[in-house]
Amino acid sequence: MRTKTLALSAVLGMLGAAAALGQNVYSLNTVGFINVTLPPGYSIVTCPLICSPDNTIATLLNNSSGAYQSGTKYGKVYPYDNGVGYLSVDTAQLASGGTAGWSLNGTETINPGQAVFFFNPVNLRTGTNMLATFVGVVPQANIAPAANFPNGMTNFLVPGYNLVGSMIPVSGDIVTSPVSQLPGTSSEFVYVWDPTVVAGVQNGYSTEGQMSYSGGAWAADPNLAWPYEGFWYHHKATGSPLTTNLWIETYVVNP
């Protein structure tokens, strides 16, 4: 994923004056946008914003103008249900009547903390990037979550494979960051996908992006290059009942 931009605008938008009390009322929400580059081949994408009207594929990757098609080749989204597996693939397409959209209507979500695989179908050697822009409210620990963000700042990492991302739009170290510390127990693994293309071949999972947890610490602290980059987290839970790791983030823009 190449050039990306994160812009957070402090919104301190005055909602108006309370007529009865003569007081100004301010919003505590912070609105931001993230420019997303989807290179040829596969990418793991997350959306760390609460978007409007929702965080569905149809909203975040709006294909009404055929943006995720290239001639007769169509982009694909692979949603994943943590602990269950891959769901049905949603394919960009021209619906009957000539209106572009998604084969399954883009109803699956990419809420903060969730991630999906996106497939750009153009040629790995000569193809161009597809683009998206996510616009929404930045999740904060001190503000009640919206209805489409029901778990607050907690990501429930279930036994097995979890396709996840940070709930906050901050790039960097996911292990030692004070606002985004990834939990670990014995034999946990993280796999970060490398979407770059070398000599017409996609690299896949980079060596630098694979790390394990043992002896009470992660073996490495790989950076997530961009605030919309997701990854695999493998939780090897033991005992009965199987435990769920909680990844709790504590980001606050407006304390």
Give the pLDDT score at 11: 35
Give the pLDDT score at 124: 92
pTM: 0.84
Residue 255 lies in a domain: no
Does 12 share its domain with 117?
yes
Does 130 share its domain with 10?
yes
pLDDT at 95 exceeding the cut of 90: no
Rounded-to-integer distance, Cα 16 and Cα 239, Å: 55
Query: Please, which residues bridge with residue 214 across strands?
Result: 217
Place of tokens 């000539």: 98
CB 68 within 8 A of CB 127: no
Does 192 share its domain with 234?
yes
| Mean pLDDT for the stretch of residues 93-110 | 81
Give the chain's domain count: 2
Residue 144 lies in a domain: no
Residue 53 lies in a domain: yes
Residue 32 lies in a domain: yes
In terms of residue numbers, what domain contains 199?
150-248
pLDDT at 28 exceeding the cut of 80: no
Pairing of strands 245-248, 154-157: antiparallel
Of 116, 112, 16, 114, nearest to 104 by C-alpha is 116
DSSP line for 41-77:
EEEEEE--SEESS--BHHHHT--TT-TTEETTEE-EE
Residue 109 lies in a domain: yes
| Mean pLDDT for the stretch of residues 64-76 | 90
In angstroms, how far apart are the furthest CA atoms of the chain? 68
Q: Which residue has the higher pLDDT, 182 or 146?
A: 182
Q: How many angstroms separate the Cα of 20 from the Cα of each of 12, 13, 166?
A: 22, 20, 42
Does 25 share its domain with 128?
yes
Does 102 share its domain with 212?
no
CA 59 to chain centre: 14
Give the pLDDT score at 107: 94
Structure confidence by residue, pLDDT tens digits, 126-178: 999 999 999 999 888 776 655 445 566 888 899 999 999 988 887 777 776 65
Structure confidence by residue, pLDDT tens digits, 191-242: 889 888 888 888 888 666 677 887 777 776 667 778 899 999 998 887 778 8
Percentage of the chain beyond pLDDT 90 is 38
Percentage of the chain beyond pLDDT 70 is 77
Does 73 share its domain with 130?
yes
In degrees, rounded to 5, the angle at the alpha carbon of residue 24 between the alpha carbons of residues 21 and 26 is 135
Least confident of 54-58, 64-68, 113-117: 64-68
Rounded-to-integer distance, Cα 8 and Cα 53, Å: 19
Does 113 share its domain with 168?
no
Does 60 share its domain with 115?
yes
Residue 141 lies in a domain: no
Does 18 share its domain with 113?
yes
Of 126, 111, 60, nearest to 81 by C-alpha is 111
